Structure 1
Amino acid sequence: MVYENVIYTQKTLSQRYGISIAALQQWFPYAGIVKPKKRGGYFDAAAVEVADIFYVAIRIRRLTFEEYLEQVIPAGGLDAYLRLVNKMTLYDFLTKHISEAEKNNPIVQTVIRRIERNEAYQSASTTATSFT
């Protein structure tokens, strides 16, 4: 199941993570997710990315909401936290240190693809600037 390029409401976003709308609303203050201003509004892509990382942190890395707020956010995000605490990148954690079932989770796959696209973009940007 591919989740990219979808517009999410609270209902569809809660379905994405397999939780209730009330549970999703509890994520907002901990994850830093900005709720749409208008009732029935849509989450922007940045909010979905933040929610995906929060999902990975609490479901795959098994952090509590409080640990996320008190340790991950001050560290500079989940990647920086994993580098500091586990001496590995988020990408390495997701591709080498979790079960096959967790690797096949659609949210995990989306986060892995995002990291790969970002690294490919950064690599292309570095290569392009080295020729100027």
Structure 2
Amino acid sequence: MSTHVNLVDMRIGSGIVSAPSTTLTVRGVMYTMPLPAHQINGSTVVFPAPEPDEETNSIRVRFDQWRIGRDVGPWRQLPLHCPDMAAAVKVAMEFESDPGISWDSSEEDLGAWAVAFVERDRARSGGDR
């Protein structure tokens, strides 16, 4: 059995068109390219980490490093790297369901929430992660 994940670079929602992008530099050249993402809820998305590779003069999409962000309004991102899409979705859903935090919170509060999430997740899994 195979799995199909649709990562899109543009999304049309109620009254908005979102086309998140990222800018990376490879060998002194800046490239702005679409950021493939999967919508979780509202403006919250998860996405594989793009990474410049100077040695091969390329940009790699890392499916072993997923991130969580907001794609509408000012781009925001949680300071977490997840090992796969399922883990990123778990973080995103917990973030979305927490009434004490939002994408409008300060960078410090987003960072504190991320640290607290990691601590809660470690406690739930017996501290071995």
TM superposition score normalised by structure 2: 0.33
Q: Which structure dedicates a bigger proportion of its chain to helix?
A: 1
Higher relative contact order (CA 8 A, sep 6+): 1
Structure (1 or 2) with the greater strand fraction: 2
